Amino acid sequence: MPVVRGDQIAGAGFEATQTAQGVAIVGANERFGIESVVKLMLSVALLRRNRLLVHGVAVADGAAGAVLLGESGAGKSTLGQLAAQAGMLRLADELVVLGGDGLAHGTPWNTGLAVSAPVELLGTLGWSDVERLEPIAPADFLPMLLSNTLLPDDLPATRAAVFQIATRLLQNTPPERFYFSPTPAAPAFLRATLLSRADPSQRPRGG
């Protein structure tokens, strides 16, 4: 990602300047430059609304959603694809919006839907032959959540705001590790878990 200093954004082969009217980009001849600036602008707008832009996969079924993080190769795209094939909603498999209100919102990056759902499962991914969930200490999960959050800048005030939103999320939804296999058993287990936790008065919003 580019480096942000004040109202200046510097990336590989391009520069951008943020103003009240928008952003002026110079030298962004490829999609990456413009897309990176858009992500940064979105993260700024979301933070003002107590929401974070997080790298992860988000799926939903019924009135409940799951947001799961992991390093490259952890299975985010695999799980998103399996869930979609099983008829679940794939909100995002690259960037998902998380709010202090406990909602997950889909984004258009890679594959996603303009849908929102309450987060009933928040955590990380792990490979296993048998699907299962194991609790994670919030203090152990918090660094991963923060490291996967897109920061619009490196200012102390920004980091403090992100930390406050993240801790509020963990207070409402204790983190868990979802161990799964790359088979139809994974979305079946996930769907059963989400349905058991869903609030019947709520439904995913959007379309």
Looking at the fold, whether 41 and 105 belong to one and the same domain comes out as: no
List the CATH number of the domain containing 102.
3.40.50
Looking at the fold, whether 115 and 31 belong to one and the same domain comes out as: no
pLDDT(82) > 90? yes
Looking at the fold, whether 137 and 196 belong to one and the same domain comes out as: yes
Looking at the fold, whether 42 and 110 belong to one and the same domain comes out as: no
How is residue 98 written in tokens?
């998380």
pLDDT tens digits, one per residue of 130-173: 999 999 999 999 999 999 999 888 889 999 999 999 999 999 89
Q: Is 164 helix (H, G, I), strand (E, B) or coil?
A: helix
Looking at the fold, whether 36 and 70 belong to one and the same domain comes out as: no
pLDDT(30) > 70? no
Tell me which residue range forms the domain holding 7: 1-48
Looking at the fold, whether 110 and 135 belong to one and the same domain comes out as: yes
Q: Which residues contact 88 (CB under 8 A, 6 or more apart)?
A: 59, 60, 61, 187, 190, 191
pLDDT computed for residue 140 by the predictor: 96
Looking at the fold, whether 86 and 108 belong to one and the same domain comes out as: yes
- Number of domains composing the chain: 2
pLDDT(104) > 80? yes
pLDDT computed for residue 203 by the predictor: 53
